[in-house]
């Protein structure tokens, strides 16, 4: 007697004769097998596409993060973090910034500056890294504090330098140094990560003088991995401003083809001129194009026009 049985999705041919069972033979596969393989292949494609979108939009996501609460002025540990008294801070001070080392070679993903959306300053610069990339001390100095701040900085390190500056390194996966440890410029101090308030791996880097958060772009030329000059003059009136010594070809131009003057950078608004692009305007004012759109309530597809007034803050 010949009997067809369906076992675990397979058709099995059973031969039974005189009550004795003979060996079972597979005669066909389930038609679902090929369909299953195609489904898995399509899922893999979808995952790859998602990863590509995530990679291409990571910088925009970084701009969407609410700035970290200032560890120097807020939180349970503020007294330990900020030992400086306002009465002791000079109105101006020339600071030697020779002997530097770039903390990471990555490009800027979010600039220093006021975030109107959150009503708070972003008091450092975010630099692109991969998870567990080595983070290096920017100058010779001594580690003053290593800590964890869940609301923003995650694992962070503060180093005090002989030139009077302090540097802050945030969102680390791991500290590689301890308080009171002496370090040289370029020494590894941590592994980069995404701890605290963060949507992805990046280094939050601050430069401070007696508690004042200087715009790091006033000291460092991050695009060329160097400092603008051998000294930086701290001034209570201008410490939030960036300095841009990039070649003129990288600067936005006015209608006469000349780079904008330094005085233009102090303005709160800017009137679009012939030849301007949103990106060139944003670069001239130390902003990303994404940030400039948000300040002005613009959608990604919106086009600027000559004569249009853009808010810069």
What local confidence, expressed as pLDDT, does residue 264 receive?
46
DSSP designation for 106: P
Closest CA to 143 of 204, 102, 190, 201: 190
Integer angstrom CA distances of residue 4 from 9, 21, 28, 75, 137: 12, 13, 12, 74, 74
Q: How far apart are CA 59 and CA 80, in angstroms?
A: 33
Number of C-beta neighbours around residue 246 at 10 A? 15
DSSP designation for 216: G
DSSP designation for 300: T
- What residues form DSSP beta bridges with 166? 160, 208
pLDDT 10s digits, 46-65: 454 444 434 433 444 444 45
Residue ranges of the alpha helices (H) in the chain? 32-56, 58-64, 78-81, 278-284, 289-295
Give the lowest-confidence range in 68-72, 91-95, 113-117.
68-72
Q: How far apart are CA 107 and CA 224, in angstroms?
A: 10
CB 205 within 8 A of CB 123: no
The helix (H) or strand (E) run that includes residue 154 is strand 154-160
What local confidence, expressed as pLDDT, does residue 121 receive?
84
CB 204 within 8 A of CB 67: no
pLDDT 10s digits, 141-177: 999 999 998 888 999 999 999 999 999 999 999 999 9
Q: What is the mean pLDDT of residues 91-110?
A: 93
Residue 4 predicted with pLDDT over 60: no
pLDDT 10s digits, 214-239: 999 999 999 889 898 999 999 999 99
Q: How far apart are CA 81 and CA 70, in angstroms?
A: 10
Closest CA to 215 of 161, 253, 165: 165
Q: What is the pTM of this model?
A: 0.59
Read off φ and ψ for residue 32, nearest 5 degrees. -75, -15
Q: Hey, what are 165's tokens? A: 């500056």
CB 189 within 8 A of CB 136: yes
Q: How far apart are CA 214 and CA 88, in angstroms?
A: 17
- 85-116 as b/e, with b when 16 or more CB fall inside 10 Å? eeeeeeeeeebebebbebbbebebbbbbbbbe
């Amino acid at each position: 007697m010949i009997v067809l049985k369906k076992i675990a999705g397979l058709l099995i041919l059973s031969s039974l004769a005189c009550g004795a069972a003979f060996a079972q033979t597979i005669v066909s596969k389930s038609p679902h097998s090929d369909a299953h393989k195609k489904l898995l292949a399509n899922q893999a494609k979808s995952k790859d596409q998602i990863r590509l979108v995530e990679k291409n939009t990571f910088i925009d996501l970084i701009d969407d993060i609410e700035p970290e609460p200032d560890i120097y002025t807020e939180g349970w540990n503020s007294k330990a973090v900020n030992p400086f008294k306002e009465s002791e801070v000079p109105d101006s001070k020339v600071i030697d910034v020779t002997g530097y080392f770039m903390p990471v070679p990555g490009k800027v993903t979010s600039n220093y500056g006021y975030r109107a959306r959150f009503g708070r300053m972003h008091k450092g610069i975010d630099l692109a890294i991969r998870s567990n990339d080595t983070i290096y001390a920017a100058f010779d100095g001594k580690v003053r504090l290593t800590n964890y701040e869940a609301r923003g900085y995650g694992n962070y390190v503060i180093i005090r330098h002989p030139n009077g500056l302090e540097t802050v390194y945030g969102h680390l996966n791991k500290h590689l140094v301890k308080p009171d440890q002496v370090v040289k410029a370029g020494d590894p101090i941590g592994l980069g990560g995404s701890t605290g308030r963060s949507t992805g791996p990046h280094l939050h880097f601050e430069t401070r003088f007696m508690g004042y958060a200087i715009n790091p772009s006033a000291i460092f030329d991050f695009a060329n991995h160097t400092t603008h000059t051998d000294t930086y003059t701290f001034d209570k009136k201008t410490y939030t401003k960036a300095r841009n010594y990039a070649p003129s070809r990288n600067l936005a131009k006015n209608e006469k083809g000349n780079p904008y003057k330094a005085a233009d950078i102090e303005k709160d608004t800017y009137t679009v001129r012939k030849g301007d692009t949103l990106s060139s305007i944003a670069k001239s004012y130390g902003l990303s194009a994404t940030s400039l759109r948000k300040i002005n309530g613009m959608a990604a597809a919106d086009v600027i026009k000559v004569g249009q007034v853009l808010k810069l803050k």
